[in-house]
Structure 1
Amino acid sequence: MPNTVDAPSRTRVPMSRIYLFALIELATLGAIITPLVVSLSLKVLQLVPEAEKEGALGIVAALGSLAALLANPIFGSLSDRTRSRFGRRRPWLVAGVVGGLLASVLLAVASSLPMMILAWVLAQAAYNATLASLSALLADQVPEEQRSKASGIFGAFGFLGMVPAMLVAALFASNLTVVMLVMPVFAVVVVTIICFVIPDPPVERQDAGSRSIGQIFSAFLFNPFKVPAFTLVWVQRATMQFGYTVVSTFGLFYLMIRLSMDQTGAASLTSIATLAGAALNVAAAFGCGYLASRRGNYAPFVIGSAALMAVSLLMKAFTDDLAVFWISTALAGFALGAYYAVDLALVMRTLPLGEEGKYLGIFNIAKTLPQSLAPALAPLIVLIGGSDPIAGGDKNYAALYIVAAIAVLGSLLTLPGLRGVLRRADYERGRAAATASTITEKESVA
């Protein structure tokens, strides 16, 4: 049975509104992805000696990821309690992208590594304020029967956010300042315009309002035994994300070792494979999102995506053939899109009423935490088992991909505990029972 009492039944929202929400996602993620793709690396090269570039970039990226991890639940919880005639979520949507633009300006003019780190930490925190509030807005307004469709659209637009980022990096490669600022300016314009169009009624809950510092940081605290379904979905997403991320960390080195490619050729193939995978991500997210919305049963999509991802990883574990690499890349792209088509819709079935922003912020940690842990663990995993069985040498890439496949399949161990929320019929029965129980408790108190 689900561990939440859902809000009263809501009418379907226009699909145009869902696409506007997704456009905010695209613009915001584009502003984050552009630095990660190219501009942080180029900025580091301006500020530190060539021999120190890897270490400096690692520090910048790690601290930025930490800021993103902290910002999501904090700003999600703050938006839950915000009182404003502009609504709960819209003030944070706009403030996040404006803050991100200001931080990007600071990043562009940074003259030292500490200043660069500060700018990137502020940018990550600001943009994650927008992303946390956006997830909460989706939970506020989109009814259950449209959530998997919305999840698919969000997944597709999230991948599409890479396209403008790469175009900007390619078109303005000679002007680092332009590369750093185009997408942040675009995000401010898009989000501000959309916030004038979308509704966000002012909050009327009695527990809204100002909070102490201690209450703000309590956004990270929750009792997993009181929200068991949410906890299991969190674990599932974190495990799946780790399995995918741990191999992408060394993707370039994998191609150089297994396919005997030079650095330039491996970098080119990595870029092409990333774009091809993103195209399949988008197609799968759209298609599976619509199918899941019609069926109301998310289990086949979760199981199928994990199985396909594991097959893809095991194919790469034991090959040095380019054709096999492309087949496995296609499978992984489709699998990831299929998973993203339902994961947001699934977690929204587990959110406690009135704390959607907080819990969606905590859920986003399941996405960002593996991105920090995987790069740290990958160098240790490739030392398991001695030399690589295909390419030889002292780094075992087969071990890396096998561990990733085990992690992905391990995410399915959460499914028995999610029976009450995987199927729409089971979820609605549980919601009705919980609502009836709450009404009975209130009547007995009265």
Structure 2
Amino acid sequence: MAVEATTRSTPAVPMRKIYLLALIELAALGALVTPLVVALSLKVLQIVPEGEKEAALGLITAVGAVCAMLANPLFGHLSDRTTSRFGRRRPWIVAGTLGGLAGALVMVVASDVPVLLLGWALSQVAYNATLAALSALLADQVPEAQRAKASGIFGAFGFLGMVPAMIVAAVFASQLTVVLLAMPVLAVIVVTVICRFVSDPPIDRSAVPPASIGSVLTSFFFNPAKVPMFTLVWLQRFSMQFGYTIISTFGLFYLMLRLDMGQTDAAALTSIATLAGAAVNVGAAFLCGYLASRRGNYGPFIAGAAILMATSLLMKAFTGDLVVFWVSTVIAGFALGAYYAVDLALAMRTLPVGHEGKFLGVFNMAKTLPQSIAPALAPFVILIGGSDPISGGDKNYVALYLVAAGAVLVSLVTLPALRPVLRRAPESADAPAPAEVSA
């Protein structure tokens, strides 16, 4: 059913509530990241012959990425249509973490690839159900004037979720069951406790059409002509995410080639650089989220983030120097933090009323889809033009980083058309810009 968006005023919420919601983000993402850090690889080594490990791990992670992509709009839509006395979003947030724990248990007992794949797919579906409903809850209750600040906090806590995941993986590396179960158990505890204190008022059942097979099938699609601003924001995020993601697959090999490092040293530097970048990212997300909330204009933050990210990628494209690598890593961390401080808040300005969950789920696909496409394209990109001009190696990393920088800069093409929603609506600090009629 098409619903026309109207201007709404939402009272300010206490900052402690935003932090509580962000803790759910941290716990869910931490539980999702832990297997990717090391646990899936170790489990594959337990159940698959040495010569088949790459193919098995690639299959499992690819299927998981597809499940994550599909789960976001599906459960966002279902939460839009939920009318339980516990609210629309909380049932899916809690159920998602319970499903994630169930998926972890399946992975623990898995003795072959199909069962391990099933467990990982269940985990991806479940945690993305939690994240989709959580984003919708944020859109429901946080007013326009606080959304950039909330987006920055969520971005920071999302990256902080990597920290406990990496600590668990490092401390309990020899105890695979602990690595697989620690963060899912913690996520269930955190979510159960917080959901007792976070309100999610039930909705009038007569005002919400029930979910149906038809509505579920259409939850993955929308008519771009009816939501042009949302479509532009989606494309902007997809392009930015693609540019950042396409380089991640061969980060280890890049260091081994450009800096002439052994595998062990390159792996150690990759881990340290990831943590350092995350630390800068967190600081930038807090700072830029605060500033963007005060200004109400997200354009400079998006443009600045894209330019800084492209600069970082171009620096890495043409260097074999460790100092330049570290400078570019810090720049990239700041750029990504600045970007995630406002991109969710910007998307919320374009959501059709009554379909927030669905469209935020579709918006999240702009982040998960490049994670499936970019790594698949990267092996072909590094073959462009023959050998690497900087190191002389047989893979062309200049081409890879130029493509990445180009994709990031292409994301800026949408900004002129997005002017109507880049600035806060002047008539009210608490009123979002009108969105279009939904599909």
TM-score range, shorter chain: over 0.9
Work out the CA distance in 2 between the residues paired with 1:362 and 1:4: 18
TM-score of the two chains, using structure 1 as the length reference = 0.95
Aligned residues of 2:424 and 2:432 also touching (Cα < 8 A): no
**In the TM superposition, what is the alpha-carbon distance from 1:393 to its structure 2 partner?**
2.4
Match of 1:182 in 2: 182
AA at the equivalent of 2:252: L
Match of 1:84 in 2: 84
Question: Identity across aligned pairs (percent)?
Answer: 70
Work out the CA distance in 2 between the residues paired with 1:68 and 1:121: 8
Work out the CA distance in 2 between the residues paired with 1:427 and 1:301: 22
AA at the equivalent of 1:251: G
AA at the equivalent of 1:312: S
Deviations along 1:98-145, one digit per CA (max 9) or x if unpaired, are 011011001111011000001100110000000000000000000000
**In the TM superposition, what is the alpha-carbon distance from 1:205 to its structure 2 partner?**
5.4
AA at the equivalent of 2:268: S
Aligned residues of 1:4 and 1:351 also touching (Cα < 8 A): no
Match of 2:387 in 1: 387
Aligned residues of 2:94 and 2:188 also touching (Cα < 8 A): yes
**In the TM superposition, what is the alpha-carbon distance from 1:385 to its structure 2 partner?**
1.2
Match of 2:125 in 1: 125
Match of 2:291 in 1: 291
Work out the CA distance in 1 between the residues paired with 2:376 and 2:24: 31
Match of 1:309 in 2: 309
**In the TM superposition, what is the alpha-carbon distance from 1:416 to its structure 2 partner?**
1.1
Aligned residues of 1:148 and 1:341 also touching (Cα < 8 A): yes
**In the TM superposition, what is the alpha-carbon distance from 1:7 to its structure 2 partner?**
5.4
Q: CA RMSD in A?
A: 1.8
**In the TM superposition, what is the alpha-carbon distance from 1:215 to its structure 2 partner?**
1.5
AA at the equivalent of 1:305: A
Sort the Cα spacing of 1:224 and 1:427 in 2 relative to 1 into closer, same or farther, 3 A. farther
Work out the CA distance in 1 between the residues paired with 2:206 and 2:6: 18
The question of 1:146 aligning with 2:140 is answered no
Secondary structure of 1:220's partner? coil
Sort the Cα spacing of 1:434 and 1:235 in 2 relative to 1 into closer, same or farther, 3 A. closer
**In the TM superposition, what is the alpha-carbon distance from 1:52 to its structure 2 partner?**
1.1
Secondary structure of 1:425's partner? coil
Aligned residues of 1:349 and 1:427 also touching (Cα < 8 A): no
AA at the equivalent of 1:402: L
The question of 1:75 aligning with 2:75 is answered yes
The number of equivalent residue pairs is 435
Aligned residues of 1:96 and 1:128 also touching (Cα < 8 A): yes
Aligned residues of 2:350 and 2:433 also touching (Cα < 8 A): no
Aligned residues of 1:4 and 1:350 also touching (Cα < 8 A): no
AA at the equivalent of 1:395: K
Query: Which runs of 5 or more residues in structure 2 are unaligned?
Result: none
Work out the CA distance in 1 between the residues paired with 2:433 and 2:18: 29
**In the TM superposition, what is the alpha-carbon distance from 1:214 to its structure 2 partner?**
2.4
**In the TM superposition, what is the alpha-carbon distance from 1:204 to its structure 2 partner?**
1.3
TM-score of the two chains, using structure 2 as the length reference = 0.96
AA at the equivalent of 1:410: V
AA at the equivalent of 2:300: P
Match of 1:422 in 2: 422
* Larger helix fraction of residues: 1
**In the TM superposition, what is the alpha-carbon distance from 1:434 to its structure 2 partner?**
5.5
Aligned residues of 1:237 and 1:367 also touching (Cα < 8 A): yes
Match of 1:172 in 2: 172
**In the TM superposition, what is the alpha-carbon distance from 1:4 to its structure 2 partner?**
6.5
AA at the equivalent of 1:116: L
**In the TM superposition, what is the alpha-carbon distance from 1:432 to its structure 2 partner?**
8.7
Query: Which runs of 5 or more residues in structure 1 are unaligned?
Result: 439-446
AA at the equivalent of 1:292: A
**In the TM superposition, what is the alpha-carbon distance from 1:213 to its structure 2 partner?**
1.9
Match of 1:242 in 2: 242
**In the TM superposition, what is the alpha-carbon distance from 1:170 to its structure 2 partner?**
1.1
